[in-house]
Amino acid sequence: MSEELLHQVTLNGAGPVHIAVIMDGNGRWARGRALPRPLGHQAGMRAVREAVEGALAAGVEVLTLFAFSQENWQRPADEIGALMALLEEYIAREMADLKQQGVTVRFLGDLERLPQAQRAAVERLMAHTEGGTRLALNICISYGARAELTRAARLLAEEVRAGRMAASDIDEEQVARRLYTSAFPDPDLLIRTSGELRLSNFLLWQLAYAEIYVTPVLWPDFQRQHLWEAILEYQRRDRRFGKVTA
């Protein structure tokens, strides 16, 4: 059944180049099993592998995952500690396979807030997977879209003050070039799991014309066929970018 979905995706052609995902519902998954929340995140880590392998199989070029927001720093210390430990575990466990599969990993966000060990681990994974050509995997960590836009404004202001550009040179392209995602096209498709209908301060600039797909599936239950179902739904949509259909 799931291979049929992939076959249909391939037959349809013109799938999304860039998919962004808000991975939500780890806590509810754990609560539903009377487990501590960190075990929900651990199960969520396995689903990350499903998403990556599903994206590779479907020919997606860029996959951007929201793993930890700036607001998540306000969670209880033990949950933050568990998430940081999982990040290191993910890197240790997946590094060789990601490299072998041709995945280039980048971490987007305020990485300076990460503890030293995690900072070193993310730098290691980025360096190790550099140059992979099949999939760009962006993992947003300590990320907030408003902070990202504020940072871009500050960078532009500094360049104007230094005389390297005029205020009148600032246009949408100049802003986009100072976002963490500057190397990538905007997401075509945003997937949010667990049924919530919010953007949660994720890629507010980049998602301007993304198609939105919300599934009730909790993130730890997310499997590659769920990704393919989302792509099939995307392929049925009529994207107009504010214009009329030709």
Long-range Cβ contact pairs of 225-229 (< 8 A, separation 24 or more): 225/1, 225/2, 225/5, 225/54, 226/54, 227/19, 227/50, 227/51, 227/54, 227/55, 227/58, 227/191, 228/2, 228/5, 228/6, 228/8, 228/9, 228/54, 228/58, 229/5
DSSP string, 213-229: EE--S-GGG--HHHHHH
In the complex, what is the shortest distance from the CB of residue 59 to ligand FPP, in angstroms, rounded to a whole number?
22
Annotated catalytic residue 24: yes
Identify which of residues 31 and 237 has a Cβ nearer to ligand FPP in the complex: 31
Count Cβ neighbours within 10 Å for each residue of 53-67 and write b for 16 or more, e otherwise. bbbbbbbbbbbbbbb
- C-alpha span between 200 and 208 (Å, rounded): 14
Query: Minimal distance in Å, beta carbon 149 to ligand FPP?
Result: 21
CA gyration radius, the chain? 18
Q: Which is nearer to ligand FPP, 38 or 152 (CB)?
A: 38
Shortest CB 17 distance to ligand FPP, Å: 21
Indicate the residue whose CB is closest to ligand FPP: 27
Task: List residues near ligand FPP by CB under 6 A.
Answer: 23-28, 41, 44-45, 48, 67, 72, 86-87, 90, 139, 194, 219
Nearer to ligand FPP among residue 23 and residue 156 (C-beta): 23
Cβ contacts of 130 within 8 Å, gap of 6 or more: 104
CA 218 from chain center: how many Å? 16
Please give, one letter per residue, the 3-state secondary structure of 160-173.
HHCCCCCHHHCCHH
72, 186, 201, 221: the catalytic one is 72
Q: What minimum distance in Å lies between the beta carbon of 174 and ligand FPP?
A: 31
| Residue whose CB is less far from ligand FPP, 125 or 231 | 125
Closer of 72 and 101 to ligand FPP (Cβ): 72
CB of 42 to ligand FPP, least distance (A): 7
Q: Of the listed 24, 26, 138, 188, which one is catalytic?
A: 24
**DSSP secondary-structure letter at 70?**
G
Q: Which pair of tokens denotes residue 163?
A: 């005389």
Residues taking part in catalysis: 24, 72
